[in-house]
Structure 1
Amino acid sequence: MPIGPQPKGRRGTVEEPYSPLNLRLVLASFGLVVCAVLSVLLLRAGWTVPGWLLAGWAVVALIDIVVVQMRRRARSRAEGGRSHSLFE
């Protein structure tokens, strides 16, 4: 999937829904915080394998946040700075 805005004039259809980037950003941020905190707690408790697995998921959430931010900026540039609700 290319990193860029939705096509101009597209509000989404049933076949091609509009991407809820703001909601995806909130969920990825929540995942990052939860995975990072649980990872630290598990590593301190001596559970190394689950701790490192959760640390890996935290890294994946961080990468997702970066990708979403890049797409949100591209969408903002393409639409002239129009703000969006959480679900669009």
Structure 2
Amino acid sequence: MNCFERRTILGLAASLAIASAGLLPDLAAAQDYPTKPVTMLVGYGAGGQTDLVARGAARVLAEQLGQPVNVVNKPGAAVLSPRAN
């Protein structure tokens, strides 16, 4: 019986915590993101079909995000790591 009471109390505490997080949306709201221009890397040369699609997608992303999206063509850059630059 003691175990059942402990589970009940823990369940009520968890549901109270979840409900209070839902009632405080200002504290749980995400920050504005992105705050800087976005760079889209394209692994093919400029002027091809992939470049045209990437530039169209960048235009739509810029409207949705409210930040400019720069398209950078790097032929042969299929695998990029943060240290590749």
Report TM bin, short chain.
0.3 to 0.5
TM-score by length of 1: 0.33
TM-score by length of 2: 0.34
Identify the structure with the greater strand proportion.
2
| Greater C-alpha Rg | 2
Identify the structure with the greater helix proportion.
1
